[in-house]
Structure 1
Amino acid sequence: MAGHQSAARCGAKCMSELVMANAGERRLTALEFQELASVPAAVEWFANIRNPRTRRAYQADLRDFCSFVGLAGAEEFRVVNRAHVLAWRAQLELRALSGATIRRKLAALASLFDYLLDNNA
């Protein structure tokens, strides 16, 4: 678990540092290869969201969902099913959030799930 946590901390920062360092002809070291291979899929997904505002909003949205369903992190998403999402949506509606905010929150969750499914994570 400790290795997984360090990979999560490394996350997008390590990915971008390694990509920038590799802009020339240099090749990855074995350690760099392992670091990139151990980056959790959810971290990869966040790293691919280019707009900082969108990334912050999606991060907050996913934290909200994880808090609602009692997940410690994205690595536990395999246990989530449609009933969890529907319950969260109902709770969002009870909070009197705007339709646009609810749609964005659900879009963040759907985008992450699509990415995790596409990458068999």
Structure 2
Amino acid sequence: MDIVKKELLMKRKNLSEETGGRKVFKRSEIKQKRILKLREEDKRDSESKLESTMPKPEFGASSSSKANKRRKNVDTLNLPKEEVIRQLRFLKQPVTLFREVRMTGWID
């Protein structure tokens, strides 16, 4: 039972440090934090996927040849449709031809 109490105290302490002692939050602040957290997770996921698909860099190669190789690698990727849609929405780019909704409003 003492372990549970210690764990609860640690979580309360961490939460109070993160929030600065605030106990009341606006719903918009909570949503914004959740969105930022999701974006960070998506960014980490996409970076890890790119690292796993990208070949190891060769030493002594020029930067322009490295950029050309990256472009070729991106062009040859075969991603499922859902992944492409998810990444485009992460970049806040329209996915459909008409009436794609962004966070700021409608896009024509």
Asked if Structure 1 and Structure 2 have the same fold, meaning a TM-score greater than 0.5 normalized by the shorter chain, the answer is no
More RCO (CA 8 Å, sep 6+): 1
Taking structure 1 as the reference length, what is the TM-score of the superposition? 0.30
Taking structure 2 as the reference length, what is the TM-score of the superposition? 0.33
Structure showing the higher helix proportion among its residues: 1
Larger radius of gyration between Structure 1 and Structure 2 = 2
